[in-house]
Structure formats: C-alpha cells, structure tokens
Amino acid sequence: MTDAQSNEAAVAESFFEIRVQGKQVSLRVHPPEGGVRANLTDIQKELRRREIAYRLDTLFDIYKRASNEFEPLANQEITRFDVEVNVVDDWQEARIKVVPPDRGQEKLTPAHIKQALEAAGVQKGINYDVIREILMEQKAVEDVVVARGHPKQDGREGVIELVHPPSEGVFVEHNRADYRELNLINNVVEGDLIARITHPTAGKDGFDVRARVLKSRPGKRARFKLGRNVRLNEDGTELFAAKAGYVVRRGDKLSVENILDLPNVDSETGNIRFHGVVRVRGQVEDAFILEAEKGIDVGGTVGKATVRCKGDIHIRGGAFGAVLECEGNLYARFLSECTVKCSGDVIVDEYVLHSQVAAKRTVKVTREPKGFITGGHIKAGTEIWSPNVGSDVSEVATALEVGAGVSVRKRYEALQERIDSNLAAFDGLRKNLAFLQHQRETEGPMDSHKRDIYERMVASGQKLIDELQRQGPLHHDMLHALAEPEEDTGMVLISQQVNAGTTVQVQTSKVNLKDPLESCAFLLVGGALKAMPYAQAIRLHKQQQAQRAHTTP
C-alpha cells in the first residue's frame, strides 16, 4: 500500500466509531465529508478484530443512515474484563467502571486499567491504592474515583485591618452600615498603631487529571492612600498615627483628624465615641450614643439618647428622656424624664422633672424663684438644692435622698449578695467533703480520680474561706456606716416651697411630708432628722464648710 492509500484508509476509518459498554455494542457512522465516507469493509474488519458478533442487516441500516449518533448494533456475551474510565467536565476527577466477563477465566491485569486510563487521557493524580484494591478483588466496580486533580489556589488579596475593635473603627464596607453604628470615630494618640496591612500572596498552581497546569491568579494589593497625620512603616505593613485625634476614611484615603466638631449626632454621624472633647452645635437625637473622655458640650438639646463622659457634660438646651453618665460634673438647662449618674455635681438651671438622678456630691436647681424638682427620685452624696420641690396640683411622688448612706448602700447590697453566694457554695462543698470522708473511712483509700476531686474541693473551700475573711471587715464597716454615721452629713435646702407628698431622706432617717412647707431645710442634728428655716440652715451650712476647710490638712 502506498503512502497515499494509507492516508486515505486512515481518513476513512475516522468516519466511524465503535463503542462497547458492558454487553451493549454501539456504532456511530459519520456523514460523508468532502466526498469521503466510512468504508463498510473497514467497519467489518474492526468488528471481526474485536470478536463482536452482529447482524449484517442491522449494520447495513446504520451504515446507510450515517446519522452521526451512536446506535445499538449488537449485544454480546462478555468474555473478558471490560474497563471504562470516565472524566468529569472540569477534568478534576476520573471514575472507573469494571465489568467482569460472563464466562471464561480471564484475570483483570494492570494493563487493562492502564489502557483504560490512557484511552481517557488520565495521566496525573491517579490513586494507585484504589487500583491495587480493584486488582486484588477481581470484582465488578461501579463508578469509583480513580484519579483526582488539584484545584488552583488563587492568591489571597492584600487586606488592611483595624487594630481596634470594629465598633470603634472607621472602615465601613461599601459605605453601608447600621445607621447608628457608622464607625466614624476611631480614637488614637500619636504613635498608635492604626491598622495592619497584609501583603497579597502569589497563589498556587493546580493541575487536572490530564496533567495540565491550572495557572493561579495572584492577589491584589490592599487599596489605600495616606492622608494627613498618618505614616507608614518601612516594610509597608503597619499604619501609625502621627498626631492624636480620630481616624477618618474618605474613599481609599486614611487620615487622623484632631478636632471633633459636629453639627448634630444623628443618622449622618451615627454613634460617636471619642477620647477627646466633642462639641455638638445642634442636637443629639433619639436612640443615639455619644461618648467622650475629656468633655462633651451640646449647644442644643439631647433626646432619648445615651451620653457618657469621663469629664464634664454641658447641655445648653436641656435633655428629654436621656441617659446621662459622667465622672465629672453635669450642667444642663433642664432635665425631663432623664436617668442621671454623676460622680460630681449635677447643676440644672430651670427644673428636674420626673427624673432619676444620682450624684456623688450635689444636685442643685439654680433658677430663683421658679426653679423646681418634681417627680422622680433624686439622690446626692452631700446636698440637694432647689427653689421648689414636688407639686401642688398633682399627686406625683417626689423623693429626695442625701447622705453618706446613699453611696454606701449599693456597695453594701452587692457585697451582701456576694457573701450569701460564697456561704451557699461553702456549705455545698462542706457536705460533699463530709460524704467523701465518710466513704474513705468505710470503704478504704480513695482511687486516684476521687482523690483528685477531694483535693480540688479542699482547695476551693480554702479559697472561699479566704474571700469570706476578707469580706467580713468590709461588711462590718459598711453596716456601721449605714446604721451609725460618724457625723451629721447631708442636707436638703428648699428656698421657696416643698409640697405635700414629698419624701425626704437624710442618711437613714426619712420623713414623708403631709403638708407643704416654705423656705426650709432638712438635716441631721444629733443623729435626728430636723426641719429648720432656710436662712438658718444656710448659716449652718457655711459654718460646716468653714470647719471642714480648717480641719482639712
């Protein structure tokens, strides 16, 4: 055969395919192309070579149709192992199917499997343990994974992450967040680490079962620009504040601003937390939080918001339904339905209405003669001052409480609760230890597990005893301070009128007024609660202040 004849035969053979799946033999005949079509004799030769029995008329029908589809040609009895390997679409997995012969003693050999793998194009990621198991068992196998590729691993993107918790950060993904928690303020001082920058990685290439390399994509650098008062370290992995202030992100730019001046605290700003002074020119709206370390100055009003400060709070427009906490002094035009906790003085210009106020030192309403305290519970460590108290047109209850006992009582109650808890825990340990001791006396030495439990119980019991011994003297001192104050401290001063229905308590002594009184004061004299004229009480108050100043070292 000449080269030309050989090429012509190869072309002709490419126009048909024979497929054997189990017992089913299928034939696909391609349509003629360029005047060349499959050769019927070539098909018959291939069928004889494979020892496939068939009906000639069925072969002629398929050949004439040349439908380019696999069509059933014959069913044959399997006399040898049939091995088929199929690969999934992404070439990451190959599965093997083995059909044993119907008759005969042929053995499945590595050559069978190797030929099937090669026919499917599988070259890499082959699981030879699976192949060895198949060869040992010499049984039918249905759809078992025989090879796996390794997916590519794209490089990690470069990221920039805050050092501080997200609630104090400024990095708002896609500029969308809870409208109250916008994370706009991030407090820093000079030299503080603002953020860490992780460089991108290169990625790791993978492969498929054809041994083709799957190229990975390297990660991209984190996007950011340096704004004012921010510096980058030498290796580009950390951002530092060059000045004290708060961190701001505008687009990709990071900067540190050292002045915080806001028009309002609302949905535009979100909650504010800052370590310096915050000045709000307008309002603090309902449901928002404003926190600062050095001071807070609000030019307008505060709604049903939470305002906390380690310094002083000034509310020039007054507060409606707010929660106010400060470690310095609180100054406000008025307080209406507020909850106040203050470590210094609470100074109010116009009135305190239906509020819960606790001050470590003084609560004072300054406006004469119209200022007033009506409703609620007002506690002060030393003094309460107000032109008017209570109401002459309603039965609203007003309670005033002053004296050392105010600050001690809460700590005493918390200590008592802790002592009761420790005593209950100790009693439980004591009973368990007694039970284990009885077992040891009646049953002999404990095993290692019980001995370990016993020793842990003994250690816990000793710990409780030590804590109770520390709590005892403190409990005694607090109880003494509540029951028998060393000096007559605490005073309520009312320059105009106190109305009926008002409760006044100085330390542990209390009186509920049945009738209104004018220009009076309440204080302890010789351990008893007394009411005296306002002018007399002012003179006594000045004398006490002078004595304290004289005796203070």
Condensed to tens digits (0 to 9), the pLDDT of residues 129-162 reads 998 998 888 888 888 998 999 999 998 888 888 7
- State the maximum Cα–Cα separation within the chain, in Å, rounded to a whole number: 139
Of 215-224, 305-314, 324-333, the least confident:
215-224
Please answer whether residues 221 and 158 qualify as being in contact, where contact means their C-beta atoms are separated by less than 8 angstroms: yes
Position 314 scores a pLDDT of 96
Tokens of residue 456, six digits: 């842990």
- H/E stretch holding 353 reads strand 346-359
Distance CA 28, CA 18 (A): 7
Lowest mean pLDDT among 36-50, 98-112, 178-192, 321-335: 178-192
Task: Enumerate residues 6+ apart whose C-beta is below 8 A from 322.
Answer: 284, 302, 303, 304, 305, 306, 307, 335, 338, 339
Structure confidence by residue, pLDDT tens digits, 498-548: 999 999 999 888 999 999 999 999 988 877 888 999 988 888 878 777 776
Q: What is the pTM of this model?
A: 0.51
**Rounded-to-10 torsion of CA 393, 395, 399, 400:** 20
Return phi, psi of residue 323, to 5°.
-105, 120
Q: For residue 124, what pLDDT band results from cuts at 50, 70 and 90? A: very high
Q: Which of the two residues, 209 and 387, has the higher pLDDT score?
A: 387
* Antiparallel, parallel or unpaired: β 245-250 and 253-257: antiparallel
Instruction: Indicate if the pLDDT at residue 47 is higher than 70.
Output: yes
49 has pLDDT over 80: yes
- What whole-number distance in Å separates Cα of residue 319 and Cα of residue 305? 9
Closest by CA position to 351, among listed 328, 326, 376:
376
Using N-to-C axis directions, what is the helix angle for 40-49 and 3-13, rounded to 10°? 80
- Whole-number mean pLDDT of the chain? 83
Q: Is the pLDDT of residue 315 over 90?
A: yes
Backbone φ and ψ for 478, nearest 5 degrees, come out as -65, -40
Model pLDDT, residue 483: 54
CA dihedral (465, 470, 473, 478) positive or negative: negative
Q: Supply the DSSP string of 119-138, one letter for each residue.
A: HHT--SSB-HHHHHHHHHH-
Cα–Cα dist 208/213, whole Å: 7
Q: Provide the total of helices (H) and of strands (E) in the chain, helices listed first.
A: 8, 37
Question: What pairs with residue 75 in β-bridges?
Answer: 24
Burial of 230 (0-12, 13-18, 19+ CB in 10 A): buried
pLDDT tens-digit readout, 324-338:
999 999 999 999 999
Which three-class secondary structure string do you get for 228-287? CCEEECCCCCEEEECCCEEEEEECCEEEEECCCEECCECCCCCCEEECCEEEECCCECCC
The whole-number pLDDT of residue 172 equals: 36
CB atoms < 10 A from the CB of 51, how many?
9
Helix, strand, coil percent values for the chain (each to nearest 5): 25, 35, 35
C-beta neighbour count of 439 within 10 angstroms: 13
Structure tokens at 129: 């343990």
**Nearest Cα to Cα of residue 93 among 49, 145, 54:** 145
Mean pLDDT of 256-280: 86
Name the residue type at position 310: K
